[in-house]
Each structure stands twice: as C-alpha cells, then as structure tokens.
Amino acid sequence: MAKIKLHHWDYDKNETINDGEISTSQIARCINQDDLVELVDDLLNYGGRGYNVGLNTGMALRTHHRTLQRSAVSFCLGILVGISDQKYTDARNEQAIETAKLIAKMYKEDSLPLGQYL
C-alpha cells in the first residue's frame, strides 16, 4: 500500500516538519469531486507538473490493472471534454482549450472509437 508522507514548512524554525503519513487508499476512499478538483489544482500549481510528468504517470500506469487503465483513459478524456466547453480563454490557456476542443470534437463525431471509454 502506497503512503504519502505529510510535511509542512516551519518558517520560525526554517525547516521542514514531518506530519506523519497517510495511505493513498485512505485518500481515494474519502475524496469527493470538489476535493479532487482542488487537489489537482494544487498539484499542478505547486509542482509545475506538465506533459512529461503526465507521460511518466501514463507509463507507470501500464503496470496496473487493465480495467483501471481503461478507467484512467475515460477519466482523462472526461476532463478534456469538460474543459473544452469553455467560452473565454486568454493567452495562458488558449492552446490547451483548442487542443481539448479538437479531442472533444473527435469524441462527439465518433471519428475515433472514444465512446468505448465512457
């Protein structure tokens, strides 16, 4: 069972303080959709994670259960289609939204066999 080590920065002591650990399974059982949105937002904000981390995550998921791989693709596709239905963009997210719109269009037109993922 995977564990996440919790810690925080103590500005008075100028050091990292360990706060224990929690299993990924405990988090998965308790998290709701709103919490997940905030978790992903924080993960991307604090870590500067992008394509390469996503690529490596996908590569790591290749060793996990096949049904969960299908679920991962479905989940990520749902995120992309959900993000694509956005009317206003700016220079920071314009290309990402355009890419998401192309993927959503492929899904909606069934140009690719994406329907099997939902």
Domain borders along the chain are 64-118
Does 8 score more than 90 pLDDT? yes
Rounded to an integer, what distance in angstroms lies between the CA atom of residue 104 and that of residue 98?
10
Global pTM reads 0.79
pLDDT tens digit string along 18-74?
999 999 999 999 999 999 999 999 999 987 788 999 999 999 999 999 889 988 988
Beta strands in the chain (DSSP E): 3-10, 15-23
Q: Which residue has the tokens 């925080």?
A: 8
User: For strand 3-10 and strand 15-23, is the pairing parallel, antiparallel, or unpaired?
Assistant: antiparallel
Residue 87: pLDDT band (50, 70, 90) is: confident
**Torsion region of 48: left, alpha or beta (phi above 0 gives left; psi -120 to 50 gives alpha):** left
In 3D, which of 68, 73, 86, 80 has the Cα closest to residue 118?
Answer: 73
Greatest CA separation found in the chain? 58
